[in-house]
Structure 1
Amino acid sequence: MTRSRITSTACILASAALVTTGCAGPTPASEGGEWTPEGDMTMVVPFAAGGGSDLSGRAMAAGLEGVQDGLNVAVENRDGASGAVGYSYFLTKEGDPNYVLATETALLALPLTQDVEFDYTSFTPIMKVGEDFTLLVVDADSPYETCTDVVDAAKSERVIAGISGETGLDNVVFTLTEQQMDVEFDRVPFESGSELTAALLGGTVDIASLNPGEVIGQLESGDIKALCAYADERYDYPELSDIPTAKEQGIDVSFAQFRGLLATGGITESEKQGWIEAAEAFADSDAYTEYVESNYLQPVTAFGDDFTSYLESNSETLAGVLE
């Protein structure tokens, strides 16, 4: 993103007037003062364009702009290493309130499975946007008709499972399925849901676990079929209501991927509160409702310390699966 260059004199005058300009983003806030996200900001997405995390980041960026006057949020994809590249980059922005990140389950899974320098306590949790369950999907020509068919096949033959990152929700639900049903899938990792969908359609993998928002178009066109949902209950959305849960097919596995918003670590309390207030306004907006419904999420929100508590609990659950 290109930021306009303004003379030092203009910057001094803008600071004196307490007006946010392109000089250096928002006016710094003291611990006791108020702070509002204004000016040019960056939304980091730690996965490639086209997947669920990218959709979430772009929806949050546009939604925050819609409820916060004078705010411009540029989306920056920094993908690689199953999300570790993006989170590590975000870690270098500590103390800078001009950066936020579209977060999901990799935030918790990466520190449990890889040698990274961060965990959720390295950042400032702002908002849990919602919960996103996955569907086990196959190509339309696949011989599998149910998730039970897939499990039965894996007992006697090689079943290749595509996953979007080695630590994502799809890897978690496949691991839970393996543990419960005493089977094993061969995994092939991809950097985004869009790449994984293409691999499924191209016959590179046999099965995939993808969020509904990533494959609704292919489901409606008939190019892909959903065998089950790794969810607590069937979806209420009409387009998905006929898809049985894995539990209905004898596979008692359900795990939701959270989607959320992080600020960098080390920001002031007033900067944290400013982002929380903007996020709360986003949650009350039509843009939030449209994002949730168009991506088939469950609108379960949490803010600030409540989101931190959720991350702590979810991390403990994941540790029992991944470690």
Structure 2
Amino acid sequence: MNRVSSMLKSALAAGALAAALALPVASAGPADAQDYPSKRLEWTIAFGPGGGNDIMSRTLIDILQKHKLYPENIVAENRAGGSGAVGWGYVFGKKGDPYQISSTSGSFVTTPLQADTPWKPTDFTPIALLASDDLVLLVKGDSEIETVQQFIEAAKKKPPTIGGIGAVNVDFIIPKILSKQAGFDFDYVSFNAAGELNTALLSNSLDAIMANPGEVLGLIESKDMRPLAYSGETTPPALGDVPTLKEAGYEIGVSLPRGLILPPDVPKEAQDWWIETIKKVVETPEWKDYLEKQILTENIRYGEDFRTFLKTTQDRFAEILREQGAIK
């Protein structure tokens, strides 16, 4: 996995620089906290356009604006790089600023395990865990491989190249666990944007990818991609008769946490405001529609319960990655 480690180190160097250059913003004073929110909100998306992180962020922004839940403008910016380290490093550098916000994904937990980031997930101010996200293993639609069993047999003969979002993310952890249980090797290639990942598979640059079902459903329906197995407990109806990895005989047991965080040390009033606002967001029909279309499992934990979840999840991921030899 030297190739992955090299890619991650160079990308994270950019992430560390971004964090170092991010100018800290003074904490809001009592008057600011009392009037919160009264300024433009800057929403950092730590990955490129089109991925699960981007889709969730822009869905939440649309809901906030449509239902007039945030009174000022919201500006979203994709700050991709370093498996999320660039974007979250930027937000970390805005300590005390309640007008900075970001969405989380599996890399929010795994990137600090692999790299020397100046932050860890529990350093941020937690708003809410919103959903859990499982992945689907896919090959190109015209591939000779039609089942996960055929994929494994072919992988034993010739290690495949598998792509995913993030260098040591759930996208990497799932095939790593599968490969160890099934007895094959593979080369992993990380991407920062779903569009680039999908293009790489469709152009025959990859043998397979791990992806969020909602991001590739159209490509599955058009038969440009063929799903082989789903990592969750139960295959969603949208994927038809695709088996779960558990049904194929492999225990995976990890999923991707999607939530919202503010920078460290923001006023408690801002955290409380966001918790109460998100409680309204998750009751909207638009949010329910998003969960259904993106094939997500609603999993809501607010405030400190979310912080505890992040700590527990990181400990679990660290255990898995050490067992698989991905980290020391």
CA contact (8 A) 1:125 1:303 kept: yes
Aligned length: 295
1:218 aligned onto 2:219: yes
Q: Secondary structure at the match of 2:270?
A: helix
Tell me how far 1:29 sits from its aligned partner.
5.4
Give the partner amino acid of 2:52: G
- Give the corresponding residue for 1:94: 95
Tell me how far 1:30 sits from its aligned partner.
2.7
- Give the corresponding residue for 2:158: 157
- Give the corresponding residue for 2:277: 278
Tell me how far 1:69 sits from its aligned partner.
4.6
Tell me how far 1:155 sits from its aligned partner.
1.4
Tell me how far 1:129 sits from its aligned partner.
1.5
Runs of 4+ in 1 over 6 A off after TM superposition: none
TM-score (normalizing by structure 2)? 0.85
1:187 aligned onto 2:188: yes
1:251 aligned onto 2:265: no
Which string of whole-angstrom CA distances, capped at 9 and with x for unpartnered residues, describes residues 240-273 of structure 1?
2422101111222242111111111111111110
User: Equivalents in 2 of 1:72, 1:32: separation in Å?
Assistant: 17
1:44 aligned onto 2:37: no
User: RMSD of the TM alignment (CA)?
Assistant: 1.9
1:287 aligned onto 2:286: yes
User: Equivalents in 2 of 1:47, 1:213: separation in Å?
Assistant: 16
CA contact (8 A) 2:94 2:100 kept: yes
Give the partner amino acid of 2:158: E
Which shifted more, 29-38 or 287-296? 29-38
Q: Secondary structure at the match of 2:96?
A: coil
CA contact (8 A) 1:194 1:214 kept: no
CA contact (8 A) 1:162 1:208 kept: yes
- Give the corresponding residue for 2:19: none
- Give the corresponding residue for 1:175: 176
Tell me how far 1:175 sits from its aligned partner.
1.4
Q: Could you say if the C-alpha distance between residues 254 and 137 of structure 1 is closer, same or farther in structure 2, counting changes exceeding 3 Å?
A: farther
1:265 aligned onto 2:264: yes
Tell me how far 1:33 sits from its aligned partner.
6.5
5+ residue gaps in structure 2? 1-26, 322-326
1:199-210 to 2 correspondences below 5 Å: 199-210=200-211
1:303 aligned onto 2:298: no
CA contact (8 A) 2:128 2:260 kept: yes
- Give the corresponding residue for 2:324: none
CA contact (8 A) 2:28 2:267 kept: no
User: Equivalents in 1 of 2:310, 2:116: separation in Å?
Assistant: 19
1:30 aligned onto 2:30: yes
> Based on CA coordinates, which of the two structures has the bigger radius of gyration?
1
Give the partner amino acid of 1:245: T
Tell me how far 1:34 sits from its aligned partner.
4.6
Tell me how far 1:212 sits from its aligned partner.
0.7
- Give the corresponding residue for 1:55: 55
User: Equivalents in 1 of 2:273, 2:156: separation in Å?
Assistant: 53
Give the partner amino acid of 2:222: S
Give the partner amino acid of 1:221: S
Identity %: 30
User: Equivalents in 1 of 2:293, 2:261: separation in Å?
Assistant: 22
Tell me how far 1:168 sits from its aligned partner.
2.0
Q: Could you say if the C-alpha distance between residues 231 and 127 of structure 1 is closer, same or farther in structure 2, counting changes exceeding 3 Å?
A: same
TM-score (normalizing by structure 1)? 0.87
CA contact (8 A) 1:94 1:264 kept: yes
1:53-132 to 2 correspondences below 5 Å: 53-67=53-67, 68-132=69-133
User: Equivalents in 2 of 1:34, 1:178: separation in Å?
Assistant: 53
- Give the corresponding residue for 2:231: 230
Q: Could you say if the C-alpha distance between residues 268 and 183 of structure 1 is closer, same or farther in structure 2, counting changes exceeding 3 Å?
A: same
Q: Secondary structure at the match of 1:247?
A: coil
Give the partner amino acid of 2:79: R
User: Equivalents in 2 of 1:151, 1:167: separation in Å?
Assistant: 21
- Give the corresponding residue for 1:314: 313
Tell me how far 1:46 sits from its aligned partner.
0.6
Tell me how far 1:291 sits from its aligned partner.
1.6
Which string of whole-angstrom CA distances, capped at 9 and with x for unpartnered residues, describes residues 71-105 of structure 1?
32211100011111111111111100001001111
